[in-house]
Amino acid sequence: MNITVIGTGYVGLVSGVCYSELGHNVQCVDKLPEKVVMLQNGEVPIYEPGLQELMIKNMEAGRLSFTNEISDAMVDADLVIIAVGTPPLPNGEADMQYIEAAAKEIAQSMNGYKVVCVKSTVPVGTNEHVRGIIANHFKGQFDIASLPEFLREGTAVKDTLHPDRIVIGAESEQASALLTELHRPLTKEIVVTDIRSAEMIKYASNAFLATKISFINEIANICEKVGADVTEVAKGMGLDRRIGSSFLKAGIGYGGSCFPKDTKALIQIAGNVEYDFKLLKAVVEVNRHQRYGVLDKLFHAIDNVYGKTIGIWGLSFKPETDDVREAPAIEVIDRLIELGAKVKVYDPIAMESFRRILDHPSIEWCENALEVARGSNALCLLTEWNEFVEADLSEVEAALLQPVLVDGRNVFSIEQIKKTGLNYYPVGRPVFQ
């Protein structure tokens, strides 16, 4: 099959590489010339484990190439996949400008029957809008389809090659047959449905996962007040197969490029049809508060942060990615600087991407985890990279000015802490001093 992927971000690039790994001819298009040059040279502009090896392998096999020119990439395409960004507008709605621009560019390069599908996360009705844009320019036959993406950054290659399920929203036999054939080698669980339901499945899935996170965070906050341990509670709950253990980890709240934006977009989608999605509004509000819970622990431990130095472990929104979009570290560091603190930071991968969105004279960029602790009045763990989880806590304690560790991800056990003189502030578990 000849496949053209529009957009080479986390979704487009990983999808393009994985489809080529299945033996298809894939051309990936991006509008950023510098990105395309990097990709043509075998360099991956994002951090995603396993991606570069697979990309180079398929480029060398002649199945994968990169271009700025959508018209070149479209000539022989059977399938065109839109994977551009849908970032949030100030009111929470998804910004459709990149989707619309991509649809127009596709329309102008259509030269025969193709299936055009949207992999980006888009509000219900967007695929029909894309159909309208293409039909305005191209009078021949084509089909549209919805192909929502469920990969997780950090495990994107594995998730794409071994998905739990594939969802296809299509209204023609030809389109659903083509997309089913493409994904059949990956999983037996292929849900073929109508386009609007497919668009909704993506938002509903992310909203549900975000709800699980906010739910366990609320339980954690109550645990702190009644003297229970949320990790024990989550373990006991998660063994019930009706509940399941995933997404039951209490902490500093969800971040990243999907959950914050998709929850707010679904609230807007509901609002546009005069439905007040009360539950999801609460999920978003709980998540916003959860960030401040970690700061409250810090204020409790060292009183006033003015003039103090606070160490931050982790800047990306989760481990194994350089993505810092909506990362908890942004709000936490912003607030600390606002209150007059100096901040020492380190992340194994995301230093550069973080610096692009938040740089300030009060931030000291460190070379390693221990350097962050050296001379800090307290240390806050915000991302559970292995490097922090496996740190020698006695060394950390010796490096700190005051033995204060705020653990926004609950990664250390009390047994580990007991071997040190650290004052330990986890989430939803008893403080240890």
Give the C-alpha separation, 330 to 379, whole Å: 16
Tokens 């253990």, located at residue? 245
Q: Which of residues 182-241 bind ligand NAD (CB under 6 A)?
A: none
Q: Does 44 bind ligand NAD (CB under 6 A)?
A: no
Q: State phi, psi for 135 to the nearest 5 degrees.
A: -65, -25
Instruction: Please say whether the beta carbons of 44 and 322 come within 8 A.
Output: no
Q: Is 216 helix (H, G, I), strand (E, B) or coil?
A: helix
250 is in an annotated binding site: yes
Q: At its nearest, how many Å lie between ligand NAD and the CB of residue 266?
A: 12
The answer to whether 344 is annotated as binding is: no
Closer to ligand NAD by Cβ: residue 6 or 312: 6
* Interactions with ligand NAD, residue window 51-90 (CB under 6 A): 83-86
- 186 is annotated as contributing to ligand binding: no
**Residue 348 touching ligand NAD (CB under 6 A):** no
- Identify which range of 1-9, 175-183, 307-315, 421-429 contacts ligand NAD by CB under 6 A: 1-9
Q: Which of 18, 223, 258, 366 is catalytic?
A: 258
Q: CA distances (Å), 132 to each of 74, 128, 205, 378, in order?
A: 19, 6, 27, 56
Binding residues with ligand NAD: total (CB under 6 A): 27
Sheet strand arrangement including 342-346: 363-365, 342-346, 309-313, 378-381, 404-407, 423-425
- Chain-centroid distance of CA 164 in Å reads 17
For residue 208, give Cα distances in angstroms to 274, 276, 328.
Answer: 21, 16, 20
CA distance 391 to 110: 55
Tell me if residue 147 falls in helix, strand or coil.
coil
H-helix or E-strand spanning residue 82: strand 79-82
265 or 312: CB nearest ligand NAD: 265
Pick from 93, 143, 153, 320: which binds ligand NAD (CB under 6 A)? 153
**Closest to ligand NAD by CB, 160 or 290:** 160
| SS3 label, residue 239 | coil
The residue from 3, 18, 26, 29 that contacts ligand NAD (CB under 6 A) is 29
CB of 343 to ligand NAD, least distance (A): 27
Contact 117, 146 (CB under 8 A): yes
- Cβ-based neighbours of 91, under 8 Å, separated by 6 or more: 268
Residue 135 token pair: 């039909």
Angle among Cα 417, 315, 218 to the nearest 5 degrees reads 65
Q: Does 7 bind ligand NAD (CB under 6 A)?
A: yes
Strand partners, 342: 309
Q: Residue 35, annotated ligand binder?
A: yes
The number of beta carbons lying within 10 Å of the beta carbon of residue 183 is 19
156 carries a ligand binding annotation = no
Q: Could you tell me the two tokens for 274?
A: 């005069």
Residue 379 annotated as lining a ligand binding site: no
Binding residue for ligand NAD (CB under 6 A) from 3, 6, 44, 295?
A: 6
Tell me how many helices (H) and strands (E) the chain has.
18, 14
Q: 12 or 408, CB closer to ligand NAD?
A: 12
Contact 92, 265 (CB under 8 A): yes
Q: Which stretch binds ligand NAD (CB under 6 A): 10-18, 133-141, 346-354, 371-379?
A: 10-18
Looking up tokens 């529009």 gives: 6
Residues 250-279 that bind ligand NAD (CB under 6 A): 257-258
Among 20, 58, 65, 120, binds ligand NAD (CB under 6 A): 120
Of 153 and 347, CB closest to ligand NAD? 153
In sequence order, which residues have a C-beta less than 8 Å from that of residue 303 and are 6 or more positions away? none
Please pick, from the candidates 23, 32, 60, 418, the single residue that binds ligand NAD as defined by CB under 6 A.
Answer: 32
Tell me: is residue 30 an annotated ligand-binding position. yes
Asked if residue 306 lies in contact with residue 271, where contact means CB atoms within 8 angstroms, the answer is no
- Closer to ligand NAD at the Cβ: 182 or 302? 182
Told to judge if 18 belongs to the known catalytic residues of this protein, a careful annotator would answer no
Contact residue for ligand NAD among 1, 22, 96, 101 (CB under 6 A): 101
Q: Is 408 in the site for ligand NAD (CB under 6 A)?
A: no
Q: Which of 5, 18, 30, 350 binds ligand NAD (CB under 6 A)?
A: 30
Nearest approach in angstroms of CB 121 to ligand NAD is: 4
Q: Which stretch binds ligand NAD (CB under 6 A): 101-109, 271-279, 306-314, 364-372?
A: 101-109
Output the smallest distance, CB 33 to ligand NAD, in A.
Answer: 10
Q: Which residues bind ligand NAD (CB under 6 A)?
A: 6-12, 29-32, 35, 83-86, 98, 101-102, 105, 120-121, 149, 151, 153, 257-258
Catalytic residues: 258
